[in-house]
């Protein structure tokens, strides 16, 4: 009995003592929680419900269960959009790393006007994708663009670029790389400056040449940065939308219709909002799996060392 009474009293006593610190804690966390719940979780749940409905957001729709998800599997246009997205990602993600790393290495050396070069390379990243797209439209116009004028001057045949079904997606990759290579450069630069000087010096003292130092010391030290960049750039690539919207609108012949642009078309131009939400959710799951796999792979690679 006595013990019971004791625990009872304790139970009563505890909240009173902890109330203030708890309130303070919630005071700090509250606003952010509200923002996350209101702007992320609430819409995400709403979209999940929408993906189970045949709905255009105008007329009252109906609950269709998993029908939208079944339709995903048998949609040749979505399959084509997925292929375009994959092709884009496969070119864009390694491309941005392969271009970004040497530039970061160069900018990490004591050269003249280094800060100026760094700024120049980062500016395109700061420019919005919309501006990049409009600019690309101008200079790559097959008939009136400056790039074709230069090519013609150099004796090369005029190209269709964004208006040629076989070139459009590749052109988009190039434009994206131009616009976003600033990120890998900055991330690699920061990582390069974090490599302990002693490691590099020790390697040189041991007689390693420049190439050997790069392969045996620099690259492994850059691993966390590389993992981060691969995940980040992959998510970026899978969600490509703004550049397509401002340049090709998925044309010519749907050759640049990527997944997010396709779901936008379905939801807002063809009035299949439920189906669009289902595509969004499928993409979300795929992105989650891809990021998870990349992280897992990275951790496994770290384990032995």
Partner 1 sequence: MIRKLAIVLAIVPALGFATACGGQSDDEGGKVKVVWWHGQTEAEGQILKDLADEYNKTHPGVEVDPEVGTTNVDEMLQKVQAALAGGEPPDVAYMYGSWSSTLAATPKVVDLSSMVKDPSFGWDDFWPAAREAATVDGKVIGVPSVVDNLGLIYNKKLFDAAGLPYPTKDWTWDDFRAAAKRLTDPGKGVFGTSYVVTGDEDTVWRFWPMLWQQGGSILGSDGKTAAFASPQAAQSLDLWRAMAVEDKSVYLDQNGEKFLPLFYSGKVGMEMAGPWAMRDLADHQVDYGVVPLPGYGGNHQTISGPDNWVVFDNGSKRAQAAKDFLAWLTKPEQDARWSLGSGNLPIRQATSKLPAYEKFAEQFTGADAFLANQENAVQARPAIEGYPDISAAVGDAIDKALLGQATAQQALSDAAAEADKILAKG
Question: Which residue lies nearer to partner 1 by CB, 103 or 282?
Answer: 282
Query: CB neighbours of 261 closer than 8 A, spacing ≥ 6?
Result: 81, 240, 241, 244, 245, 249, 250
Which residue, 69 or 241, has its beta carbon nearer to partner 1? 241
Q: How far apart are CA 279 and CA 267, in angstroms?
A: 10
Under rule CB under 8 A, which residues in 144-203 are in contact with partner 1?
144, 162-163, 165
| Residue 131: Cβ within 10 Å count | 13
Q: How far apart are CA 86 and CA 173, in angstroms?
A: 12
Question: Interface with partner 1 includes 292 (CB under 8 A)?
Answer: no
In degrees, rounded to 5, the angle at the alpha carbon of residue 23 between the alpha carbons of residues 17 and 27 is 160
Is the Cβ of residue 175 or residue 213 nearer to partner 1 in the bound state? 175
Identified binder of partner 1 from the candidate list 267, 275, 278, 282, rule CB under 8 A? 267
CB 230 within 8 A of CB 97: yes
Separation between Cα atoms, residue 161 and residue 155, nearest integer Å: 17
Q: Which is nearer to partner 1, 67 or 108 (CB)?
A: 67
Where in 91-130 is the site for partner 1 (CB under 8 A)? none
β-partners of residue 53 are 63
- DSSP label at 268? I
Binding mask 33-52 for partner 1 (x = CB under 8 A): -----xxx-xxx-xx--x--
| Closest distance to partner 1 from the beta carbon of 51 (Å) | 10
Min separation Cβ 141 and partner 1, Å = 8
By CB under 8 A, the count of residues binding partner 1 is 50
Q: What is the dihedral of CA 256, 258, 260, 261, to 10 degrees?
A: 30
Nearest residue (CB) to partner 1, 225 versus 231: 231
Q: Which is nearer to partner 1, 103 or 187 (CB)?
A: 187
C-beta atoms surrounding 97 within 10 Å = 19
User: Given its phi and psi angles, is residue 57 left (phi above 0), alpha (psi -120 to 50 degrees) or beta?
Assistant: left
Considering only the stretches 16-24, 80-88, 186-194, 274-282, report the one whose residues sit in contact with partner 1 under the rule CB under 8 A. 274-282
| Closer to partner 1 by Cβ: residue 23 or 36 | 36
Looking at the Cβ atoms of 86 and 195, the one nearer to partner 1 is: 86
Among 72, 244, 280, 282, binds partner 1 (CB under 8 A): 280
CB of 244 within 8 A of CB of 85?
no
CB 141 within 8 A of CB 248: no
With 0-12 / 13-18 / 19 or more C-beta atoms within 10 angstroms meaning exposed / middle / buried, residue 135 is middle
- Contact residue for partner 1 among 189, 225, 273, 278 (CB under 8 A): 273
Q: In angstroms, how far is CA 54 from the centroid of its own chain?
A: 30
Phi, then psi, of 65 in degrees rounded to 5 = 65, -130
Among 15, 21, 27, 60, indicate the residue that binds partner 1 (CB under 8 A): 60
Find the binding residues for partner 1 in span 203-262 (CB under 8 A): 231-232, 235, 239, 241, 247-254, 260
User: CB 189 → partner 1: shortest distance, Å?
Assistant: 21
Residues at the interface with partner 1 (CB under 8 A) = 38-40, 42-44, 46-47, 50, 56-60, 137, 141, 143-144, 162-163, 165, 231-232, 235, 239, 241, 247-254, 260, 264-265, 267-271, 273, 277, 280-281, 283-284, 287, 291
């Amino acid at each position: 009995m006595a013990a019971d009474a004791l625990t009872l009293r304790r139970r009563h006593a505890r909240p009173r003592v902890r109330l203030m610190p708890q309130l303070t804690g919630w005071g700090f966390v509250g606003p952010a929680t509200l923002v996350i719940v209101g702007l992320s979780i609430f819409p995400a749940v709403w979209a999940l419900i929408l993906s189970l409905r045949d709905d255009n957001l105008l007329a009252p729709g109906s609950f269709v269960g998993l029908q939208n998800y079944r339709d995903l599997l048998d949609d040749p246009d979505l399959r084509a959009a997925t292929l375009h997205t994959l092709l884009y990602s496969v070119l864009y993600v390694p491309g941005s790393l392969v271009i970004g790393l040497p530039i970061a290495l160069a900018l990490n050396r004591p050269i003249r006007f280094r800060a100026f070069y760094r700024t120049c390379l980062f500016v395109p990243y700061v420019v919005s994708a919309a501006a990049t797209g409009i600019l690309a439209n101008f200079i790559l116009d097959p008939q009136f663009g400056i790039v074709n004028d230069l090519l013609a001057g150099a004796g090369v045949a005029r190209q269709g670029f964004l208006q040629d079904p076989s070139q459009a997606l590749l052109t988009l990759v190039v434009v994206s790389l131009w616009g976003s290579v600033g990120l890998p450069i900055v991330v690699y630069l920061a990582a390069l400056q974090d490599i302990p000087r002693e490691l590099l010096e020790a390697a040189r003292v041991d007689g390693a040449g420049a190439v050997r130092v790069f392969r045996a010391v620099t690259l492994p030290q850059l691993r966390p940065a590389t993992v981060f960049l691969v995940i980040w750039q992959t998510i970026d690539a899978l969600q490509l939308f703004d550049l397509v919207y401002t340049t090709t609108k998925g044309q010519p012949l749907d050759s640049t219709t990527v997944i997010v642009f396709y779901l936008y078309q379905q939801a807002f131009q063809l009035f299949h909002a439920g189906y669009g939400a289902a595509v969004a959710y499928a993409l979300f799951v795929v992105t989650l799996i891809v990021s998870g796999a990349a992280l897992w792979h990275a951790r496994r690679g770290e384990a032995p060392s």
